[in-house]
Amino acid sequence: TQLLEQSPQFLSIQEGENLTVYCNSSSVFSSLQWYRQEPGEGPVLLVTVVTGGEVKKLKRLTFQFGDARKDSSLHITAAQPGDTGLYLCAGAEAGNNRKLIWGLGTSLAVNP
Amino acid sequence: KAGVTQTPRYLIKTRGQQVTLSCSPISGHRSVSWYQQTPGQGLQFLFEYFSETQRNKGNFPGRFSGRQFSNSRSEMNVSTLELGDSALYLCASSLSGTEGEKLFFGSGTQLSVL
């Protein structure tokens, strides 16, 4: 069974700090997605990374896909309270990009 | 464009009852997936429908079923509810592209089984 492990599970930081969260697997994915979910809402897609080594930036968020397409990281610069939420990664199985494998998420709290 | 709409937002049921949840996808999206989300298990895939046909199915018992209508709206049904069915049920409509499936989630239905 493919698994995606996310770390840390919980993170509480002060506004302005930088942070990195990780998404790791022993399996290769054809693509990997990052979502953010706020309390009482469904996840919202932030980015999809496809190519090994790819880096994508979304304002203060930087996403990287590992060279071997088995892992990914999300770095947030100067975190703000609006970044608070559950960050989920989901990998698409190689050869079947409709089947997503989900991590359990990193719950981030940014305190003002 | 209106987003994915799920109804109801909250439900309280008792063990043994059944429940039907509804999902209206984004206009033009033909694929609808259902997920169960709990704190301990995370997002777990229930099933996916495309053009009124179940295309994929997760590892849930037969008490969980779904269907899709010709207008792409979907319903899922859970019969003989158990306490462990308490969860957030999420529906997502999707769009296929060069980067794979992109899921657009509704706000979910929070089901509590007492």
B42: nearest CA partner in chain A: A104
Q: Do A98 and B48 touch (CB under 8 A)?
A: yes
Tokens standing for residue B94: 């999707």
Cβ distance A43 to B105 less than 8 Å, yes or no, reads yes
Q: What is the pLDDT of residues A3-32, one digit of tens each?
A: 799 999 999 999 999 999 999 999 999 999
Which pairing describes strands A10-14 and A106-111: parallel, antiparallel, or unpaired? parallel
- Amino acid B82: pLDDT: 97
Give the pLDDT of residue B39: 86
How is residue A77 written in tokens?
Answer: 């610069």
In this prediction, residue B101 carries a pLDDT of 76
Residue A84 has pLDDT above 90, yes or no: yes
Residues in A closer than 8 angstroms to B101, CB to CB, are 92, 97-98, 100
Quote the CA–CA distance of A60 and A39 in Å, as a whole number: 21
Rounded distance, CA B13 to CA B103, Å? 29
Using an 8 Å CB-CB cutoff, list chain B residues near A40: 107-108
| SS3 of chain A: helix, strand, coil, percent, to 5 | 5, 60, 40
Mark the ranges of chain B whose per-residue pLDDT is less than 50. Answer: none
% of chain B at pLDDT higher than 90: 82
Residue in A9, A93, A99 to test binding to B, most B beta-carbons within 10 Å: A99
Measured distance CA(B45)–CA(B27) in Å, rounded: 22
Alpha-carbon gap: A101 to the closest alpha carbon of chain B (Å): 9
pLDDT bucket at A56, cuts 50 / 70 / 90? very high
CA neighbours closer than 13 Å in the CB half-sphere of residue A48: 17
Sign of the torsion formed by the C-alpha atoms of B51, A96, B20 and B6: negative
Which among A31, A40, A90 is the nearest to B107, CB-wise? A40
A:40-79 residues touching chain B, CB 8 A cutoff: 40-45, 48, 50
Q: Choose the closest CB to B56 out of A31, A41, A98.
A: A98
